[in-house]
Structure 1
């Protein structure tokens, strides 16, 4: 069976893939041994005290090791002590490392949502969101994962009735998370207008969602 290019196995001494005259940077996951693009992975470096530290922006100095951006793979790396092998030395690894990565990803997305709010791109509350949908101003419909199903279904129905097929629905954050990010109380529904900040938020939200999904439920997100 042919493996997809984003998860193919290559010999240890393989060179970077080349497209035209430009080398395509790839990294090997220390858990699966698959080779992927850095955008599909999480980089880890060692702090001065030899503790394993996530480097989501891929900017920290020093040698890094890489893991495919899935929670269960980070947990496996911790459980099997693969970081010591990857760094070729004794390291300190927090038992909750996967939780820390998930929080960093969520914080990144919610931080961008906060910026979008300051830029005037966000409407909150059922009626205001319904109005934004009806007027065609909604690029992203945000609904709290712990919000009442009835309200969530009503807005999803209004969106479907509008005929818009280009609006994404994000339901991966709690009401508390949305409220803190937007500086408002009891946020269950929110609408984001089209903007580069909205696109950046979507990219970060997809990355967080993909990381937290259980094994076997990643295929739908890989092409986002």
Structure 2
């Protein structure tokens, strides 16, 4: 407790302070970083690496600022270095995590892919998250809808989403409530922040709905 009787920010469950903005927010909107054995900053996307960690908002500009301004060294109180491509490392790592989690969710029977299967799941009210490829055609994606209270993400490309289903390309995916869905929501939200918009690096391509 502080002298004024208020609980310190760091004691709030599930919240951390961003070393860039100074704001305290839920961990789901932040990325944890630690210093590796060689003194180089490493993203701890699973939040399991040992040692003292610091947190940065899941935002490309924030991570780049932390690296450029020496904020990691200040936060860790150690002479650490951040690689120039740190934001890209975080983006690539989050993309792999989302792809792998969606794949596991599919194998557990909680995720479907393809226009007709997703449309059927929507009609049956079994969708908590609608996934649509960033480089899918707007016309095809516009034929589906996000249910009230559900989430929509367009942070994966068609080829990335396809990896989750063992196909070359997938435009539409739907996640049912439960299972790994909440974990996917957290990492997909972080990935959206790193890609700065849902289109990602491959936005602008036009693929047919699959």
Indicate the TM-score class for this superposition, using the shorter chain for normalisation.
Answer: 0.7 to 0.9
SS in 2 for 1:196: coil
Is residue 2:189 matched to residue 1:189? no
The residue that corresponds to 1:171 in the other structure is: 154
TM-score (norm 1): 0.74
**Structure 1: segments with no counterpart, 5+ residues:** 1-13, 215-224
Of 34, 42, 60 in structure 2, the residue corresponding to residue 53 of structure 1 is 42
| Moved beyond 6 Å, runs of 4+ | none
Aligned residues: 191
Superposition deviation, residue 56 in structure 1: 2.4
Superposition deviation, residue 123 in structure 1: 2.3
Q: How does 1:43-122 map to 2 (within 5 A)?
A: 43-122=32-111
SS in 2 for 1:185: coil
TM-score (norm 2): 0.78
The residue that corresponds to 2:24 in the other structure is: 35
Superposition deviation, residue 15 in structure 1: 6.2
1:90-136 deviations in whole A, cap 9, x for unaligned? 32321010111122222222221111110122222222222222233
In the aligned structure 2, how far is the partner of 1:125 from the partner of 1:92?
A: 44
**Structure 2: segments with no counterpart, 5+ residues:** 1-5, 198-210
In the aligned structure 2, how far is the partner of 1:32 from the partner of 1:48?
A: 27
Superposition deviation, residue 143 in structure 1: 1.1
Contact 2:163/2:169 (8 A) holds in 1: no
In the aligned structure 1, how far is the partner of 2:103 from the partner of 2:165?
A: 5
